[in-house]
Structure 1
Amino acid sequence: MLFNTTGLLGMLHQLQLTPTAIDVLSVMTKCQRSGGAVDMKQAEIDEILNVGQASMSRAMALLVDRGLVLRSGNGRGHRYALNPAVAGYASQSEFESEMSRQLATGGPPPILVPDYARRPPKAGKGELHAVA
């Protein structure tokens, strides 16, 4: 069992993720090794979620763009890991060691929260409209 000290769940709504991206992140979180490495390819995650290659690629690209998922390699040989700031760790000391290592090299990669193009509507003020 891995533990995680991040407030990621509290800020998911601010990251403006698609439902598919949230599902992909959930699978990756469940299947991660200590420290965030995910030994699965996109196709393997898609087998679990059954969303299709195009939706899977868009969701993964969104997670990478937001900084929640780190991608290494190129072509079909991509390796994925969760950002060290949101990854699970086997122990508190492992988490502290990784964060010390990250801070020594400039800190973990940032998680990018998109800016609103305009202020969101206030609750109870007119109709809410879905945004694509």
Structure 2
Amino acid sequence: MSLINTTDLLGMLHQLRLTPTAIDVLSVMAKYQDTGGEVGMKQAEIDEILGVGQASMSRAMGLLVERGIVIRSGGGRGHRYALNPAVAGYESQTELEKSMTQQLAVGGPPPIKVPGYTKRPPKPGKGGLHAVA
């Protein structure tokens, strides 16, 4: 089944400053999501696919939740995960529009948080471009 998305998440991944493991986790979640972004997998099941270990898996999932890309519900070991409705896949344009209308009625989907610079970006013209052979 091919799902359509509301945004081009891949185009903004570099801005989110995700770890390679978090990107891998997000890829698995996107692949196995149900329409609307629900992911019927636990962290351990995702880790079975990736083989990164429990600690790395927890850090990666924590980062995705912190950035707002993944929504965690439930408590303890019973956490359930879903992709943010703004980046989830939908079976049709009609389904996407219905979901977004519902989200807007309750204030919109949760924001995706892009971290700010910890230091100033380089000034234009400084350093120049270097050819790589």
Letter in 1 for 2:39: V
C-alpha displacement at 1:87, in angstroms? Answer: 0.1
What are the equivalent positions in structure 2 for 1:38-49 lying under 5 Å apart?
38-49=39-50
Superposition TM-score, scaled by structure 1 size: 0.91
Give deviations 1:100-119, integer Å, cap 9, x for gaps: 00001000000000001112
Letter in 2 for 1:125: G
Q: SS in structure 2 opposite 1:47?
A: helix
What are the equivalent positions in structure 2 for 1:1-132 lying under 5 Å apart?
1-121=2-122, 125=127
Superposition TM-score, scaled by structure 2 size: 0.90
Give deviations 1:19-74, integer Å, cap 9, x for gaps: 00000000000000000000000000000000000000000000000000000000
Unpaired segments ≥5 residues, structure 2: 129-133
Aligned partner of 2:131 in structure 1 is: none
Moved over 6 A (4+): none
C-alpha displacement at 1:3, in angstroms? Answer: 1.2
CA distance in 2 between counterparts of 1:57 and 1:78 reads 12
C-alpha displacement at 1:8, in angstroms? Answer: 1.0
Unpaired segments ≥5 residues, structure 1: 127-132
Q: How many residues align?
A: 126
Higher CA-based Rg? 2
CA RMSD between the two structures: 1.5
C-alpha displacement at 1:124, in angstroms? Answer: 7.3
Q: Give aligned-pair identity as a percent.
A: 75
